Amino acid sequence: MSVHDHGFARVTGAIPVVRIADPKANAEATVESMRQGAAEGSLLVVFPEMGLCGYSIDDLVQQDAILDGCRDALKSIVDASAGLMPLVVVGLPLVVGDGLYNCAAVIRDGAVLGVVPKSYLANYREFYDKRYYSAARDAPQDTVRLFGSDVPFGADLLFDAEDVPGFCLHVEICEDGWVPIPPSVWASLAGATVLANLSGSPVTVGKESYRKLLSTSHSARCIAAHLYVAAGFGESTTDLAWDGDALITENGTLLTRSKQFEMGAQSISADIDLDRLRQERMRMTSVRDQVGDHAEDLKRLRRIGFSFGVQPGTDDVEVLRRAIARFPFVPSGTSDLDERCREVGNIQVQGLAARLRATGLEKVVIGVSGGLDSTLALLVAVDTFDRLDLPRTNILAYTMPGFATGGATLRRAHTLMDSLGVSGTELDIRPSCEQMLADLDHPYSRGEKVFDVTFENVQAGERTSHLFRLANHHGAIVLGTGDLSELALGWCTYGVGDQMSHYNVNGSVPKTLVRHLIRWMITSGEFSDETSAVLAEILADVISPELVPPGEDGAIQSTEDTVGPYELHDFFLYYLTRFGYRPSKVAYLARQAWGDLDRTPWDTEPLDDRNVYDAATIDKWLTVFCQRFMANQFKRTAMPNGPKIGSGGSLSPRGDWRSPSDASARAWLQELRGE
């Protein structure tokens, strides 16, 4: 359960209360925040621009007393860092040669590893950086003498951790991040995964949203983590105001942000996912192409190696400081919920409409079971036909009761078809199934209660066979209903079974998203009260193929009792296929999301509103997932066409997932067991 053992790095943005022109007091506040970050397990603590004297010091920055005081303050911070784990980045003015530079000193365990000068000096509107400072490009030397040692000096420094794979830091200062091509762009191409920006940015109306846009988009473009830490309370308000804004973003996602306009010291921290960044960069071959285009320039960046001293399995940091979505395929916010759900529906509708136009056909055949998947596919068909100005009666819906179809399920199917105004028909498949079982000389045909896989698949096969022949007969296409989760687990009958159709609008929609979309449709007000009521019944029922008669206790066949909870399997599917994580890391993330850990304030959902799974249960079902996923690739290799829905991907062999059908799950299972 160690954060560091699973590819995460805790980073902190610290904003002490600054005292203008008082380096000693600022050093004391910096040391206090630094020690707090170290105690919380952070590997990096970043402070604001010019934090040792204040960014708004103006002409006082040229006073020798201030400059000497800043060097002394830096020395006290360096000494205090001895024995502490994190890299510490502090801002101060430094004289190098004949020039004065706005700098960031990178400190680790009692030493200065490097000093980064500001590259681009803001000199417009309220900014007068060129009045005081020289730019990094003007420096006549690439080292600076500090406390008896020559320290690397320049904007070309990369701080590369030797004992935390994937941690490579680049530092830039304020305006450097606002120019069209920030220095950190080149650093990221050279391998920097953590980009820190020390800022003295004052606040004006609208700047808060622009900073967020800047940081999130920069982290996405660079496929990196980005720490932005701006000056806060204590800066001079002679003509400006300061809000102490700090953000930590990762590959386009905001992980955490400080409270604006706090009048006391504050800090923010989050666990960045170095594995995610590494996986994304490895997959983005276009980025590698650009690295090759600039290879000679990138080689000139200087790498400074160091070690954090992290010992695997020795820390007791269990709870991640980042939100782990329990339903990674499902829209998480409320502000864009309608937009996202409508977008999913639009993709499905657009795909089906295009396929109908390409075939020249104006009818679809669909099997309606009264369950989740066929319900969603039917609703998509209705929306598609409405938009194409085709009559809903051209949707030929068949409910096909078998040996275990329940009365409630059958009623729901009829209610759904009738209330939507499609051509609904009941077609009893039991006679044809009995003939098939007799032809097979199956024990059931001799009166024995043998409900094996053959018994189940005969029913699934008969349903699909009827649908295809009906489509031939009526000049239609068969609309598939099976979802992404079933394809992942192989919970579908291969060939002439529910695995096959002419087109499948649900093929990249996981079960958890199917549930969510139907729940959203109920509240959208787009359907009649009768339709909405039956949709609510469908949501509340147990997920079941209804292929085996109820037991003596009356319990119906439950899919999740057999293969495991879909909410866990969808979680496993997302992280294994989208990011290629090791199974042990997936289990760790599942424990964070679904365990009984107290994750406040990162967890916004109360424990009472969800299931809780312990580590043993998570490992059990993850093992099942790995085994079933690998064993059933042959079904996905032959899956029908269907639109890709989300960034979580699909399992189409023509799209996101190409895998041999005879691959082994052994490597996954060995890694999960620690073998």
Q: Is 374 annotated as a binding residue?
A: yes
**Residue pair 509/652 in contact by the 8 Å Cβ criterion:** no
Given 103, 168, 174, 222, the catalytic residue: 174
Task: Give strand pairing partners of 477.
Answer: 364
Given 49, 175, 235, 567, the catalytic residue: 49
Q: How far apart are the C-alpha atoms of 117 and 107, rounded to whole Å?
A: 15
DSSP state string for 260-321: TT-SS-EEEEEEEEHHHHHHHHHH-HHHHHHHHHTHHHHTTSEEEEE-----TT-----S-S
**Within a 10 A sphere around the Cβ of 662, how many other Cβ atoms?**
9
Give the containing element (helix H, strand E) for 525: none
Q: Is 368 annotated as a binding residue?
A: yes
Q: Is 124 annotated as a binding residue?
A: yes
Q: Is 305 annotated as a binding residue?
A: no
- The strands making up 395-399's β-sheet, listed across from edge to edge, are 423-426, 395-399, 364-367, 477-480, 503-504
Q: Is 493 annotated as a binding residue?
A: yes
Q: Is 457 annotated as a binding residue?
A: yes
Q: Is 635 annotated as a binding residue?
A: yes
Given 53, 118, 433, 511, the catalytic residue: 118
Q: Is 259 annotated as a binding residue?
A: no
3-state DSSP assignment of residue 606: coil
DSSP state string for 410-430: HHHHHHHHHHHT-EEEE---H
Q: How far apart are the C-alpha atoms of 391 and 386, rounded to whole Å?
A: 7
Q: Is 201 annotated as a binding residue?
A: yes
- Name the token pair of 571: 């979680």
Q: Is 494 annotated as a binding residue?
A: yes
| 118 labelled catalytic | yes
For CA atoms 480, 483, 488, 490, give the dihedral sign. Answer: negative
**Residue pair 12/40 in contact by the 8 Å Cβ criterion:** yes
**Within a 10 A sphere around the Cβ of 173, how many other Cβ atoms?**
30
Instruction: State the first-to-last Cα distance of the chain, in angstroms, to the nearest integer.
Output: 17
For CA atoms 435, 439, 445, 448, give the dihedral sign. Answer: negative
| CB contact burial 224-250 (16+ within 10 A = b; e otherwise) | bbbbbbbbbbbbbeeebebbbbbbbbb
| CB contact burial 334-366 (16+ within 10 A = b; e otherwise) | eeeeeebbeebbebbbebbbebbeeeebebbbb
Q: What are residue 100's phi and psi, to 5 degrees?
A: -105, 130
Q: How far are the Cα atoms of 75, 102, 172, 477, 523 from residue 134, in angstroms, in the given order?
A: 23, 8, 15, 71, 60
Q: How far apart are the C-alpha atoms of 74 and 70, rounded to whole Å?
A: 6
Q: Is 448 annotated as a binding residue?
A: no
| 174 labelled catalytic | yes
Per the annotation, binding residues for L-glutamine are: 124, 201, 207
- Residues making up the annotated binding site are 124, 201, 207, 367-374, 457, 481, 486, 491-494, 635
Which residues make up each annotated binding site for deamido-NAD(+)? 457, 486, 491-494, 635
Show which residues are catalytic: 49, 118, 174
Binding residues for ATP: 367-374, 481
